[in-house]
Amino acid sequence: MTLLKLSNLSDLAAALQAQGYRVVAPIQDDAVVRLRSWRPGDTVRIAALPVNSPKDFLFPRCEAIGRYVLDRDGFTSEDLPARAEKTVLLGIRPCDVAALAGLDSVFAWGYPDKFYGERRAATTIVSLVCPSADDDCFCTSVGGAPDSTVGADAMLRLCNGGTAMTFASMTEKGKALDAVFGQFSSPGEAAVDPVAEVPVLFNSEVVTDWCSKSFESTVWRTLGLACLGCGACAFMCPACHCFDIQDESTDAQVDRLRNWDSCGFSQFTLHASGHNPRPDQPARWRQRMMHKFRYFKERFGRVACTGCGRCGRLCPTGMAISDVCREIARAEEVR
Amino acid sequence: MNENTYHPAVLRIVDARDEAPEVRTFRLEFVEEADRARFFEKYRVGMFGLYGFPGAGESTFCVASPPTRERYIECTFRKVGRVTSALQDREIGQTITFRGPYGNSFPIEEWKGKNILFVAGGIALPPMRSVIWNVLDRRGEFGNVTIVYGARTVADLVYKHELAEWAARGDVALTTAVDPGGETPEWKGRVGLVPPVVEAVAPSSDNGVAVVCGPPIMIKYSFPVLKKLGFAPTAIYTTLENRMKCGVGHCARCNVGGVYVCRDGPVFTLAHLETLPQQDM
């Protein structure tokens, strides 16, 4: 058995970088741990759940998808290349890996998205068997597991009390990293650390079934009362993929930008005529739940929630999607 | 390598016509022949596109001309917001952007030999005009063609010259109407709202399909009339609109229930619509 010492992570990141990879990892950033591109001097905090998700690196918050050079009475359009750097996502938790499968489905659906697709093809996922969960985690309620290998190219597992890791590559992309990981590994005995314990909070099949028959439920009204429509849940969600397209222009040039959006925002569905099919927060919250647990599942065969718990941790009014699902499932099981 | 879905074709405005207050038609030609060929390879009546101008953005509306006119496309739209204002500011000879065609289409190949009733209100004649001209350009393949078209006022009727052309044809039964109070002293058509006018015209539903397009309230009151005339919900078609950004199902904005208007629509039968949550429209 070969082991990689935790203290070698920075050297490993540097070695991957030297091979031309952008290394995205959980990095200590002031008081929080954030996924970002590793730079020399950064501390990789592999065991901590980062505040943001890997979505940021495949489907960025804001991205130019078109460029137009303006002249006196018209424009010329430029087809922008995708910025697809060869990337290693290092130490990504199984919940976040699972969310990428959903994004893969959406961005390949009928009209393959060049920007997402090229970045995804250039990305190698080195996931981490999840060592710790908090009260907001619920991957096991939505078909995931803290030690799931699904979707990963290679997998790390902490051992010997979090001081070392094992590395196992599963795919061609993962095996391409064998040599670099091997370089920083040495033979040793491994006592693997325990996997995070994530209790099952609800049965997601029950939630999906309930959604299928409860469009007109009064539950939406009660839920909607608490929602401020701030969109924090959607922006931090690894699976949310709604976006807006806006033009940003100077007198000489226009960049057509794709930006994250949220079904919780009041302008999301607002027509130019003033009509809004989802006129209030209850209607928008219903869309959020319905899309994740019913529509997405009908279309792509999986729910658009992987139980990472970020929405619950971040919501200023404490509306965790897991609480809502638990309430729904409990009410259904009592019936 | 995938192509960039968001990279638009460029269209040149070769003709422009004012139809009604704030409503204008553009005739547009593809600047690149390859874009034109690609468009017409896919285009069927009912599909839509995203028309845009850099700096203002893109807006979704129908293609108002039929695939049988292969040199150009036409669109008719009202100036409502930022994008449509920027588009109407463009003049003949200038260019705009276009993505499409997207969405599904009216199954007119299944309508061969059938009688077709078109019911339209106001600015909703354009999405139906492509179907009407498609049918008239292949007139011999279809049965009776009946058109009932109403608008708020005489001025609000679009395609006035084409209405005259259809009225003059022996093979089209056209009824025009304006809302009470919208008539002029010279008005020769009917006065009344579209649903009761359809009921009065009473076209036969025998071997027929009905295509309805108009403001939501007109559509809502037209469906019961059509059912009463004997049209089955599977023989009644309409086309939905919702705000869109991508047009290809990725931005998740245009859902009605689990249906994506951009991918599963915009054309729906009444039978399908009845299964969707009405509140989402």
Q: Per-residue pLDDT tens, chain A, 335 aa: give them.
A: 789 988 888 899 999 999 999 999 999 999 999 999 999 999 999 888 899 999 999 999 999 999 999 988 789 999 899 989 999 999 999 999 999 999 999 999 999 999 999 999 999 999 999 999 999 999 999 999 999 999 999 999 999 999 999 999 999 999 999 999 999 999 888 899 999 999 999 999 999 999 999 999 988 988 888 899 999 999 999 999 999 999 999 989 999 999 999 999 999 999 988 889 999 999 999 999 999 999 999 999 999 999 999 999 999 999 889 999 998 888 877 66
Q: Using CB atoms, which residue from B1, B253, B258 is nearest to A294? A: B258
Evaluate whether B68 touches B137 at the Cβ level (below 8 Å).
yes
| Average pLDDT estimate for B117-124 | 95
Evaluate whether A306 touches A144 at the Cβ level (below 8 Å).
yes
Q: Distance between CA A224 and CA A219 in Å, rounded?
A: 8
* Residue among B7, B30, B98 with most chain A CBs within 10 A, to mutate: B7
Which of residues A1 and B248 earns the better pLDDT score?
A: B248
Cβ partners under 8 Å of residue B227, min gap 6: B233, B236
Give the pLDDT score at A335. 64
Which tens digit of pLDDT belongs to each residue from B123-172? Answer: 999 999 999 999 999 999 999 999 999 999 999 999 999 999 999 999 99
- Taking one residue from A and the other from B, the number of pairs with CB-CB distance under 8 angstroms is 125
Q: Using CB atoms, which residue from B58, B81, B255 is nearest to A272? A: B81
Give the pairing of strands A243-249 and A2-5. Answer: unpaired
Element (H, E) at B101: strand B95-102
ipTM over 0.90: yes
Give the pLDDT score at B136. 96
Q: Considering chain B, what percentage of its residues have pLDDT values greater than 70?
A: 99
Residue A140 DSSP label: G
For residue B95, the chain A residue with the least C-alpha distance is A74
Distances (CA, A) of B10 to A68, B30, B31, B54, B211: 12, 6, 6, 11, 31
Give the pLDDT score at B222. 96
Check: pTM over 0.90? Answer yes or no.
yes
- Contact yes or no for B279 and A295 at CB 8 A: no
Q: Which domains does chain B have, with CATH numbers?
A: 9-102 (2.40.30.10), 108-239 (3.40.50.80)
Give the pLDDT score at B120. 97
pLDDT band at B95, cuts 50/70/90? very high
Give the pLDDT score at B201. 93
pLDDT band at B97, cuts 50/70/90? very high
DSSP states of A110-122? SS--HHHHHHHHT
Please confirm whether the linkage preceding B266 is cis (ω < 30° from 0): yes
Q: Name the nearest CA neighbour of B273 among B245, B248, B239.
A: B239
- Contact yes or no for A277 and B242 at CB 8 A: yes
The full set of domain ranges for chain A reads 2-187, 204-334
CB contacts under 8 A, B 43-72 vs A, are 54-59
Whether residue B84 has pLDDT greater than 90: yes
Give contacts of A221 with chain B, Cβ < 8 Å: none
- Contact yes or no for B258 and A290 at CB 8 A: yes
Whether residue B1 has pLDDT greater than 60: no
- Contact yes or no for A110 and B263 at CB 8 A: yes
Give the pLDDT score at A116. 97
